[in-house]
Structure 1
Amino acid sequence: MSGTTLADWLRAQDDKVLVALLRARPDLATPPPADTSVLATRLGSRSSVARACEDLDSLALTALEALLVLDADRAPVPISALRALFKPHRVTVARPVALLRSRGLLWGPDSALRVPASARDAVSPFPCGLGRSAPSLADVDLSGLDEGESRVLAALATGRPTGQTKDAAHVVSLERATSPIQKLLARGLLVRRDQSTVELPREVGLAVRGDRPLGDVVAEEPALRTQALDPGRVDGTGAGAVLELVRHVEGLVGSWSQEPPAVLRSGGLGVRELRRVAKDLDVTEERAALLVELAVAAGLVGDSAGLEPEWVPTAQADPWLAAGPEQRWAVLAQAWLELGRLPGLVGGRDDRDRPLNPLAPELARAAAPKDRRRVLEALAELEPGTAVPDVAGLAATLAWRAPRRGGRLRDELVRWTVEEGTALGVLALGAATGAGRALLGEGAAAAAKRLADALPDPVDHVLVQADLTVVAPGRLEPELAGEMALVADVESAGHATVYRVDERTVRRALDSGRTADDLHELFRSRSRTPVPQSLTYLVDDTARKHGRLRGGPAGSFLRCDDPVLVAEVLAHPASDALELRRIAPTVLVSPLPLAEVLAGLRGAGFAPVAEDAGGQVVDLRAGGRRITGRGRRKSPPPPTASPEQLAELVRQLRAGDRAATTTAGARVTVPGNLGSGPSVTLAVLQQAAREGGEVLVDFVDGHGTAASRVIKPQVVGGGVLEGVDVGYGEVRRFPLHRITSVAIVHK
């Protein structure tokens, strides 16, 4: 069994084992491998091994590195050797070995364990922090070393086994050595790799470590410090955060509807524009960056493109604004959950020491959704109301579960996810909210329904104060909220929202068509406190001055020195369609564009011309074809294969193995268009159909994937081969133009 290959081991496994392997390592199934040999090749590739290691916990990863210390990537090793390395640490290896086997990172019987040859490159060139082997040092003696030499060996044995030093430039004899490095090089306890690098051999490192050959081994997941809270309190706090979030995004959309910021050449949002958002919404720049990223990710804001692109609200913003708070939140929360970017990077600097702005391409991270979900699921798997007050402790637990995931930002990803999740109401007080749990497990629709139960009932009244402030003691009914947003500005928000009424806000309400009587009735009917006289005076004084100077829309004008011609134009039936009206004896105006007005008058028999501000004639003909700007396209996530699809793939692997081991006669190549020599191929297939024989058919399926099947032909004709697939025991049909070669199978 020492010569068992990975392909042989895979063929010997049960179908359920292979299905579990393909589920754990989905990259192996794309595209579908033709047979087990192809699967084994992919399974041992460096990139696939590296991806598989990202989901290993700390103990399993240590076991894999320990196997590399034993050189199991070069020759089989018994499990007893692995147990010997872990025995001083009082750790059993049964669980990590089983896990490594299930991921295809370890195969063979206990007497001859193997790991992929690429594992050393994919995991670490120095497994368990140990250097390369020097067999001549197997029985190394460390006695007689001075304090400096011992200190150097201890440092290299506990950290990285290589070090940079100028003392490696020249190797001298022990008698001439002056520094600990030179002495160790002279003794052969260090190996010189180049003029400035030394390395501690594996055997010396093991001798220095003594009874801890693998260094620090954490066999169990660190205990997570938790705190029990009332689930209702958690959901209520999260609901308050949701209302704040929705209000801020609504304010962002409204602000950018009036003054859309420019898109930077790099594709992001400028620092000054971010500060303006933070100031307008009265939030920190970090929160403003998150709001901007959410608005774009949810499709509420997009890049207008063109020569001078701007960040402009999209058509999706209007139905979003009209929806209830739970539906609005569901859109934002789902967008955040799937966001392939890291808003937490905003404010940092890139590799060239340039600042990272919101919406910049440098914030994109393909693994962000998976890392984000991993943090959230760690909190959601706890009992409802169970909080984790220590983010560092949560990061330590997740680091043990997957030490290779997240890279240098691993712990920062945990902190950012907790902060952002709290801002979105997915988390609250360090615990997962009910809506957050539903979002992870059931989807956005179920989460919105769960959130609606947690949101406070809307109130139908306000409290008007003598200082011209209005207090909303909770979430207002939509109609009342709209009226208050029109007549007052939000001064502070929280569980109770404080509005400020002044002359400018009253004028804004009057501009929208409200009258003084309407505003008096609003405050009188909706306030649970008496309306102060100062507010009544403010409304009346503002209304008295309002509307004395009036304006109206005018898309174009017509002027003529002859009042008679003006009267003739106004009397023509076309003037009604052009919505012309006289504002002076020689001036007509219309709300329609000038080009449309001129075209209509010319059609009625008049001969008008266009002029510029200086009175010069201008040409209004269109300058060329226009196109609609394209928004950002979102790449769909890769599909996840179902258990049925994986089982079918395993069946195809088995069929491919049978086809590959079938003894076949001479093959007959068939042109793809059957334009040359089809009679030979048809003769072979028809002969097999008459004699009840089997043929090995190579073909290309509808997806362009090449495959082979052993077929027992039944009907050959009409451009189709119909027969029983020997590997599956079912009837299949093959268009003859897709068959690339056939061969008779000799039993």
Structure 2
Amino acid sequence: MPATSLADWLRAASDDELAALLRARRDLATPPPSDSTVLATRAGTAGSAARAMEDLDTFTLSVLDALLVADADTEAVPLTTIAALVGADVRPAVDRLRSRVLAWGDDDAIRVVPATRELAGPFPAGLGASAPGVDVESALAEVGDDERGLLGALAAGPPIGRTRDASAEPSLTEDATAVQKLFARGLLLRRDDETVELPREVAIALRGGRVCSPKALHEPDLPTSPHQQSTVDEAAAGEAMEFLRQVESLLTQWSEQPPPVLKSGGLGVRELRKLARELDTDDTRATLLAELVVAAGLVADSQSGTPEWVPTTLADSWLASEPAHRWVVLADAWLDLPRLPALAGQRDAKDKPVVPLSDDLRRPLAPTVRRRVLGTLGELPSGAGVSGADALVELLAWRAPRRGGRLRDETVRWTFAEASALGVIALGAVTTASAALLDGDRPGALNAMYDAMPKPIGYVLVQADLTVVAPGPLEMDLAAEIAAVADVESAGHATVYRITEASVRRALDTGRTADELHELFRKRSATEVPQSLSYLIDDVARRHGRLRGGAAGSFLRCDDEVLLAEVLGTPAADSYELRKIAPTVLISPYPLAEVLDGLRAAGFAPAAEGPDGRVMDLRPSGRRIPARPRNSRRVVPEAGLSGEQAASVVTHIRAGDRAATSRKGTAVRLPGGGGGSDTAATMALLARAQREGREVWIGFVDAHGLASQRVVTPTHVGGGVLTSTDGERYPLHRITSAALVD
């Protein structure tokens, strides 16, 4: 006989089936239900049912809609009826619904939780109210093209429409409107003077006897293109290298000129566009860069009187690391970033633009979406990639249409674009390094990215036009030397630097000599060093350092008295209050760095001098603030109940069921707990049960204040505690009533 209620059905289920239910719907086990009736009540609440429906695919939800169309929330319906409505084998979907207790009962009498009707919306399967008594087939055979067009639009759902003809009388005359004719044939219902509704039976007939679209029955295909996994890894490594270069540039720029923190928090639009312009990229990518350097702890709010976004001390160790390690730090931060950078630039509820690094971008579920997208790509064969995000959006929407909210599809597209920019995916496929990172294997990710990245080279190509081409990533020491003497002109898989008079002077300002620069290019250039470069270095070196300054405030000295006279004749001499104290020495009350910058702007080429007379570098190394501890808690999907935990809850429920159905004999009731003579009576009853080996029914309140019932066999009563044969201990002061079981 089919179960008459959900509680009866749960009570008749096996322990394994109950444990599987609790693992599928963890909220039902917290706190443990006292018996099957409580479990059924909890499973039937709208909130719990909504959570159970979140992970259901489109086909299963369509079967649930068909059950509601058949009114399975008020009366039992057979499986065959649902199969006819859906037009497919519905048993797998019904079993899935039963495993989550959204439906219950045998195949000949299936019911659904009443709360699902509220959750499915006013029109399950896009169907309207029932209007029996109309010969739909005959009526449809008589409709004209205009009437059929209107019916087709409403049959696709929703089944209601607004029209001025809703208040018109039914008519089949030649001048009657399509709405009037449909009223007359019973194929359309009037809801009010402006609204009409398509009857359920008519819509089902127009759909070919099915309640759902054929597309809902099968998971959409995900078109893919095959690639070698090594090709995917190398392509991703190239994107990663470019991303790392832009992060380095951001840290350099914000070291020298930290952008201010807005009063409301975040990075201003003007500063964002300035960053995008200097990095030669768009606002979207600049936002992603800014969000990730903060998420990785490389930049932080200085939290000073005038707060700024300033690189932290972690930035120095990051910059000194190998490229593969740098990528792992950023990719790991992106995976667990509880924010949506792509929301920047959109309008909030008050029609104000959302800015980067503000609280408006916070979305705690963003890491779950990223892992879901990458996990779906990871299911593909090795090296197989999708051509774009649209097919992925369609697939994920079919698998879980009730998850993600209004930004569900856009979040998938944003994740795909960000993963491509960061080198987490390439050619639409997950890389070897990313797969390891998703599994929590950071060393494996590091090794995989190291193998995929092009190996550093120890040479450059110097051209006659004073450009230096690096055909790949340079060794760290060579990269530092080239950056000191040349400026990046264009970046990519091959970086082009340009050497100018200013860049050579900058290298000399750091203490390098002309001979050292000649030696650098002689040893490291794979091409012959052009004479134009040698002449440029020698020419700048001849003029460099003839005028030297030291801190007094500051001083300038030069053996050429004529040159000092030229300096004193410039406006800069007045600006920096230069004063001659000897034929070859000038002094100023201003810091040396400011004096040298002013003289360089006036066309001179002074150099800074240290206490030992050697040239020293006065350029600021950039601001730094102490790094703050990062939140080490990783965002992972909520773990389900373990088998042991589920078995324990099932035992708890079974004990409550047993207590609820046991016949009670001699009873002792203890209002408000034990105490006085009541406690003595309880002790006497429990002691008798222990002596006679009899079962005793007890009412019990646990530490959370939840009341439950138990049937136990006492093995020991003493010390204020009842110990049962199953090892459970019940403090006597929490036992509210007790009775021997007949």
Q: Is 2:487 the counterpart of 1:492?
A: no
- Letter in structure 2 aligned against 1:648: S
> In structure 1, what is the Cα distance between the partners aligned to 2:277 and 2:227?
35
Q: Deviations over 1:517-547 (max 9, x none)?
A: 4433333333323333333344444444248
Q: 2:131 aligns with which of 106, 129, 134?
A: 134
Q: Deviations over 1:182-201 (max 9, x none)?
A: 44345543333333222112
Question: Relative to 1, partners in 2 of residues 1:267 and 1:140: Cα closer, same or farther, differing over 3 Å?
Answer: farther
> In structure 2, what is the Cα distance between the partners aligned to 1:649 and 1:507?
76
Q: Deviations over 1:348-395 (max 9, x none)?
A: 334554433323433333332222222211211111111222432333
* Other-structure match for 1:743: 738
Q: 1:374 aligns with which of 360, 372, 375?
A: 372
Question: Relative to 1, partners in 2 of residues 1:19 and 1:148: Cα closer, same or farther, differing over 3 Å?
Answer: same
Is this contact kept in 1: 2:76–2:111, CA < 8 A? yes
> In structure 2, what is the Cα distance between the partners aligned to 1:279 and 1:553?
40
Structure 1 runs not aligned, ≥5 long: 556-583, 592-627
TM-score, scaled to structure 1? 0.80
* Other-structure match for 1:575: none
Question: Relative to 1, partners in 2 of residues 1:214 and 1:231: Cα closer, same or farther, differing over 3 Å?
Answer: closer
* Other-structure match for 1:411: 409
How far apart are 1:687 and its partner, in Å? 5.0
SS of the residue 2:497 aligns to: strand
How far apart are 1:463 and its partner, in Å? 2.4
Range 114-123 or range 205-214, more displaced: 205-214
Range 215-224 or range 197-206, more displaced: 215-224
Q: 1:104 aligns with which of 94, 101, 106?
A: 101
SS of the residue 2:518 aligns to: helix
Superposed, 1:557-596 pairs within 5 Å as none
Q: Is 2:667 the counterpart of 1:668?
A: no
* Other-structure match for 1:21: 21
Q: 1:467 aligns with which of 424, 448, 465?
A: 465
Range 432-441 or range 201-210, more displaced: 201-210
Superposed, 1:168-183 pairs within 5 Å as 168=166, 170-174=167-171, 178-183=176-181
> In structure 2, what is the Cα distance between the partners aligned to 1:685 and 1:517?
100
Q: Deviations over 1:432-468 (max 9, x none)?
A: 1111221223443422222122222222222222322
- Letter in structure 2 aligned against 1:499: Y
Superposed, 1:119-158 pairs within 5 Å as 119-137=116-134, 141-142=138-139, 143-158=141-156
Is this contact kept in 1: 2:172–2:180, CA < 8 A? no
Structure ranking higher on relative contact order (CA contacts 8 Å, 6+ apart) = 2
Question: Relative to 1, partners in 2 of residues 1:691 and 1:400: Cα closer, same or farther, differing over 3 Å?
Answer: closer
Superposed, 1:640-659 pairs within 5 Å as 640-643=639-642, 644-659=644-659
* Other-structure match for 2:38: 38
- Letter in structure 1 aligned against 2:249: G
> In structure 1, what is the Cα distance between the partners aligned to 2:424 and 2:647?
36
> In structure 2, what is the Cα distance between the partners aligned to 1:53 and 1:312?
45
Structure 2 runs not aligned, ≥5 long: 555-584, 593-625
Question: Relative to 1, partners in 2 of residues 1:393 and 1:171: Cα closer, same or farther, differing over 3 Å?
Answer: same
- Letter in structure 2 aligned against 1:358: P
> In structure 2, what is the Cα distance between the partners aligned to 1:508 and 1:656?
82
How far apart are 1:238 and its partner, in Å? 0.9
> In structure 1, what is the Cα distance between the partners aligned to 2:653 and 2:549?
80
> In structure 2, what is the Cα distance between the partners aligned to 1:159 and 1:171?
23
Question: Relative to 1, partners in 2 of residues 1:681 and 1:137: Cα closer, same or farther, differing over 3 Å?
Answer: farther
Q: Deviations over 1:682-722 (max 9, x none)?
A: 66247524641546363444x7877665554555555x526
SS of the residue 2:468 aligns to: strand
* Other-structure match for 1:577: none
Q: Is 2:452 the counterpart of 1:423?
A: no
* Other-structure match for 1:696: 698
Is this contact kept in 2: 1:66–1:85, CA < 8 A? yes
Q: 1:357 aligns with which of 355, 358, 382?
A: 355
SS of the residue 1:261 aligns to: coil
Q: 2:320 aligns with which of 319, 322, 331?
A: 322
Question: Relative to 1, partners in 2 of residues 1:35 and 1:208: Cα closer, same or farther, differing over 3 Å?
Answer: same
SS of the residue 1:145 aligns to: coil
How far apart are 1:254 and its partner, in Å? 2.5
**Identity percentage over the alignment?**
51
Q: Is 2:53 the counterpart of 1:53?
A: yes
TM-score, scaled to structure 2? 0.81
How far apart are 1:472 and its partner, in Å? 2.1
Range 218-227 or range 32-41, more displaced: 32-41
> In structure 2, what is the Cα distance between the partners aligned to 1:165 and 1:301?
59
Q: 1:93 aligns with which of 68, 90, 94?
A: 90
* Other-structure match for 1:568: none
Q: Deviations over 1:151-203 (max 9, x none)?
A: 222211123101122333x3535379843224434554333333322211212
* Other-structure match for 1:252: 250
* Other-structure match for 2:329: 331
* Other-structure match for 1:344: 342
> In structure 1, what is the Cα distance between the partners aligned to 2:591 and 2:428?
61
How far apart are 1:270 and its partner, in Å? 2.0
SS of the residue 2:300 aligns to: strand
Question: Relative to 1, partners in 2 of residues 1:741 and 1:232: Cα closer, same or farther, differing over 3 Å?
Answer: same
> In structure 2, what is the Cα distance between the partners aligned to 1:411 and 1:456?
35
> In structure 2, what is the Cα distance between the partners aligned to 1:711 and 1:590?
87
Question: Relative to 1, partners in 2 of residues 1:289 and 1:717: Cα closer, same or farther, differing over 3 Å?
Answer: same
> In structure 1, what is the Cα distance between the partners aligned to 2:497 and 2:663?
86
> In structure 1, what is the Cα distance between the partners aligned to 2:257 and 2:729?
62
Is this contact kept in 2: 1:304–1:630, CA < 8 A? no
> In structure 2, what is the Cα distance between the partners aligned to 1:83 and 1:535?
82
How far apart are 1:295 and its partner, in Å? 1.9
Range 629-638 or range 72-81, more displaced: 629-638
> In structure 2, what is the Cα distance between the partners aligned to 1:446 and 1:421?
19
